Amino acid sequence: MACWPSRSTINDQPSTHLIEFLQQLINGLSLGAIYALIALGYTMVYGVLRFINFAHGDVFMVGAFAGLYVAPAVLKLSNGGPSWPGAFLVLVIAMVVCAILGIVIEKLAYRPLRNRPRLTVLITAIGVSLFLENFGQYAFGVDPQSFPDLIGDHAITIPAWCGPLTDLTIMVSQVLVFAVTLFLLISLRFIVTKTKLGMAMRALSVNPVATSLMGINNDVVISFTFGLGSALAGAAGILISIQQPSIDPLMGLQPGIKAFVAAVLGGIGNIPGAALGGILIGVIETLVVGYSDRLHIPSGYRDAVAFFLLILILLFKPTGLLGRVEREKV
Amino acid sequence: MFERSKIILLVTVAAIFVASRFSSHIDPYYYDIILSIGINIILAVSLNLVNGYTGQFSLGHAGFMSVGAYAAAMFTTYASGPFLGILGPLGPFLSVTIFFGIALFLGGLAAGVTGLLVGIPSLRLKGDYLAIVTLGFGEIIRVIIENVDALGGSRGLSVASGYTNLFWVFATAALTIYVIVNLVNSTYGRGFLTVRDDEIAAEAMGINTTKYKVLAFTLAAFFAGIAGGLYAHDKQFINPEGFNFLKSVDIVTMVILGGMGNTTGVTIAAVLLTILPEWLRHLSERPWLPHWIAPLLANRTIPYSLLLIILMLTRPQGLFGAPGLKRKKA
């Protein structure tokens, strides 16, 4: 993953330290928002089926590539230049593609295993993940490809009256990522709490036998859950490609793992927990990497940070931060 | 005087010794594949002790293999001067044999200790959580090696001495099978099987399930370490990427294909899955194949992942099944 812009000039003025910290925090938040979107998919699928969908990170990758392939056609409508409606259209198309992919994966690979031991499903999920990665390498090529600039990304000029805050670098894409994530989270909240399908999802996660007795078609609800989670992953794929415009078929691996850690940190099966966990993981990772010199951690350990956190959580608080709130489970 | 199994072991080792005298007549390409088969047998049979007989799902076997590989390689690199000096009077053949034996044992020991340290905390977890945590530890080991300069970092490490030969590989493989088959048929073996079949019942009968899980895990790591030492002195070059998550999945695939808890099946699966990619690669070079199919076959992970999915959907007990395998519903 590309490096985040960071302030490397360190002097002893307290305000520069604060500005540097704020900068890291902003970078961490926009990374965390993306992790949060992916983590929601893990947590929703875990909620209804009680298994870890290993292939979720790769659905995120497919989302990015769907964007890469439709972007030129969409941008043609605006004469090839960056356009906000175009970006929105690309986002929606990627979400739809990923939703279909998620539903197909569930139907072909996971549904026949519904009543088998969980490990069987886990192994299948690993197989699906490897297949998507390697088929992606075959279909999209191994080398990283550059993602077109959909929104004309640039740093926001901070008005002069903000004083030392003008030293901050806030990109338009960072604001966009945060805004889109917030919007999707609120929509998800609405779907889960206010619609019939959302209610069916919550009921299914409590007792699947009872829901089927109540006339709810469990298969439909599970398909819907997969579609919803995968659509969020697709959105995350586009958002990360806008921020870091270099995509490759293995790009889903690390964010996938980190988002999974985020889901566990927040309490797996818990939707607000996944969002909170994602933000936390993004911030922690950015801070650890940003301050690696002063913490005496070589920055090469970046990818081990998430695993280290995961192991600590599972050993000391396996239910996660918000895991106890059963009512919120989906 | 000797039990039957010991006689079988001795005869096998003697036969391997005689066969190894003729190894110079084997084509180097086939010789290389034959050595890989032996190393994979050790890895798969040892992992089967954890994943098959004890019913714990480990996804970090390649991590332990790398610990053994690096430990053995460091030993033969830095200790060859003094040790071969002391052993010198025994003649070149015996001194090298003893020296390499010590190196392999130390590699196994290092991996075993790592396995113990990893196993004690993580074996409190079950099912998919255990899988993820072992995956995490495997990746942490890899990241640590990548960041330690004395081990060559991500550039890899050249191993000067190519001690590994047909005799070493297959004698060790025979010894591994001997130890594990006898262990499973002993009192300890009953312990492993009870942990797998019903952990709660086992605990109620006063069996220290943690002890058996940790024992199986440590022993499997020990043999993985020896396999790593053999691998390092066969290829004469090791790098952390060679021991990544995919390598662990390869070994898991062998165990699953052979049938979890079926040593004969797993041995056959290790042979098949070592030959399969080579065979597919040859097949992909056939001129009559459509040009788009060749890269699909040459990339062995695509057939591997499809094999995993299809196997789980149609025959989760593996090609050869598992005698008396009854899995508790998770």
Digit-coded pLDDT (tens) for A258-275 = 899 899 888 888 888 999
Does position A12 have pLDDT exceeding 70, yes or no? no
| Alpha carbon of residue A134 to chain centroid | 21
Give Dmax (Cα) for chain B. 64
Contacts of A311 in chain B (CB under 8 A): 121-122, 133, 136-137
Which positions 155-174 of A are in contact with B (Cβ < 8 Å)? none
Does position A120 have pLDDT exceeding 50, yes or no? yes
Handedness of CA A139, A145, A151, A155 (dihedral sign): positive
**Inter-chain touch B143–A303, beta carbons under 8 Å:** yes
B155 touches A: beta carbon within 8 Å: no
Does position B243 have pLDDT exceeding 60, yes or no? yes
Q: What is the pTM of this model?
A: 0.85
Give me the pLDDT at residue B2, please. 61
Residue B324's pLDDT band (cuts 50, 70, 90): low
A117 touches B: beta carbon within 8 Å: yes
Contacts of A310 in chain B (CB under 8 A): 132-133, 136
Buried-state track A100-133, b at ≥16 Cβ within 10 A, e below 16: ebbbebbeebbeebeebbbbbbbbbbbbbbbbbb
Q: What is the mean pLDDT of residues A315-324?
A: 77
Give every CB contact of residue A126 below 8 A, 6+ residues apart in sequence.
Answer: A54, B249, B252, B308
If you measure CA to CA, which chain A residue comes closest to B137?
Answer: A307
Which positions 23-62 of B are in contact with A (Cβ < 8 Å)? 57
Q: Which residue has the higher pLDDT, A224 or B97?
A: A224
Q: Which residue has the higher pLDDT, A241 or B285?
A: A241
Could you state, in order of their start, the residue ranges of all structural domains in chain B? Answer: 27-243
B212 touches A: beta carbon within 8 Å: no
**Inter-chain touch B295–A310, beta carbons under 8 Å:** no
**Residues B211-239: tens digit of each pLDDT:** 999 999 999 999 999 999 999 999 999 99
Does position A4 have pLDDT exceeding 70, yes or no? no
Give me the pLDDT at residue A324, please. 58
Q: What is the mean pLDDT of residues A298-315?
A: 79
Does position B70 have pLDDT exceeding 50, yes or no? yes
What is the end-to-end Cα distance of chain B in Å, rounded? 46
A140 touches B: beta carbon within 8 Å: no
Which of B134, B120, B108, B126 has its CA nearest to residue B224?
A: B108
- Distance from the Cα of A79 to chain B's closest Cα (Å) equals 35
B217 touches A: beta carbon within 8 Å: no
If you measure CA to CA, which chain B residue comes closest to A254?
Answer: B139
In this complex, the residue of B121, B125, B143 whose CB is nearest that of residue A300 is B143
Give me the pLDDT at residue B325, please. 46
B293 touches A: beta carbon within 8 Å: no
Residue A2's pLDDT band (cuts 50, 70, 90): very low
Residue A10's pLDDT band (cuts 50, 70, 90): very low
Q: What is the mean pLDDT of residues A133-141?
A: 89
ipTM above 0.85, yes or no: no
**Inter-chain touch A123–B256, beta carbons under 8 Å:** yes
Report the mean per-residue pLDDT for chain A: 85
Q: Residue A8 phi/psi, 5° resolution?
A: -100, -15
B70 touches A: beta carbon within 8 Å: no
**Residues B106-156: tens digit of each pLDDT:** 999 999 999 999 999 888 887 778 888 898 899 899 989 988 888 888 888
Give me the pLDDT at residue A14, please. 58
Give me the pLDDT at residue A56, please. 94
In this complex, the residue of A118, A131, A310 whose CB is nearest that of residue B309 is A131
Across chain A, how many H-helices and E-strands are there? 12, 2
Does position A22 have pLDDT exceeding 80, yes or no? yes
d(CA B16, CA B252) in angstroms, rounded, equals 27
Judge residue B144's burial from the number of C-beta atoms within 10 Å of its C-beta, 0-12 exposed, 13-18 middle, 19 or more buried. middle
Report the mean per-residue pLDDT for chain B: 87
A124 touches B: beta carbon within 8 Å: yes
- Identify from B135, B313, B315, B328 which residue to disrupt to test chain A contact, counting A C-beta atoms within 10 A and taking the largest count: B313
Least confident of A13-17, A226-230, B265-269: A13-17
Does position B3 have pLDDT exceeding 80, yes or no? no
**Residues A51-90: tens digit of each pLDDT:** 888 899 999 999 999 999 998 888 888 777 788 888 899 9
- Identify from A130, A140, A319 which residue to disrupt to test chain B contact, counting B C-beta atoms within 10 A and taking the largest count: A130
- Distance from the Cα of A123 to chain B's closest Cα (Å) equals 7
Does position A171 have pLDDT exceeding 90, yes or no? no
In this complex, the residue of B125, B139, B316 whose CB is nearest that of residue A120 is B316
Report, in this order, helix, strand and coil percent for chain A, each rounded to 5.
75, 0, 25
Which DSSP symbol is given to A171? Answer: B
A116 touches B: beta carbon within 8 Å: yes
**Inter-chain touch B308–A127, beta carbons under 8 Å:** yes
